[in-house]
Structure 1
Amino acid sequence: MDLILKNVKKKDLPLLKALAKRLYFEIEVQEKPYNTEFVKEILQGQKDIKEGRGIKMNIEDIDNLWK
């Protein structure tokens, strides 16, 4: 039987590992890396803002985006 724990905090991982070892469970940790294209877009956006290529919006402008 497999058990999958999601959204485990890093501070809780040693406790879970110790418990699994004590109960003779096999533990396997898998971390999913971020999508590289997504990371590039975020970094480019931060660079654009630093270089003054961003736009300023007020609450009304933001509110009108989703209407």
Structure 2
Amino acid sequence: METLIVYPTKEQEKVVTAFLEALNVQFEKKKEVLPHHVLSGIKKGQSDIKNGDTFTFEEFKQQLSVSK
């Protein structure tokens, strides 16, 4: 048995599901959830932006070159 992992859009999902059902292929739907540390990092970044704690890409490159 092989495993296929596909990432259809909502529109495509309906077609793929109907196709698999028509062929009597067993499948399962799983909602992909990001790990907790990723979600907390996103929330922190959004909070930083809201609080104005940001810098430009040029400032980032300057800091990066100084740290080498």
Fold equivalence (TM over 0.5): yes
Note the residue ranges of structure 2 that are not aligned, 5 or more in a row: none
Between the aligned partners of 1:53 and 1:63, the Cα distance in structure 2 is 17
Between the aligned partners of 1:50 and 1:31, the Cα distance in structure 2 is 29
Q: In the alignment, which residue of structure 2 is the partner of 1:62?
A: 61
Q: CA RMSD for the aligned pairs?
A: 2.6
Q: How does 1:1-67 map to 2 (within 5 A)?
A: 1-58=1-58, 61-62=60-61, 65=64
Cα gap change, 1:28/1:49 in structure 2, threshold over 3 Å: closer, same or farther?
same
Shift of 1:64: 7.1
How many corresponding residue pairs?
66
Q: Return the structure number with greater helix share.
A: 2
Question: How high is the TM-score relative to the length of structure 1?
Answer: 0.70
3-state DSSP of counterpart to 1:65 = helix
Note the residue ranges of structure 1 that are not aligned, 5 or more in a row: none
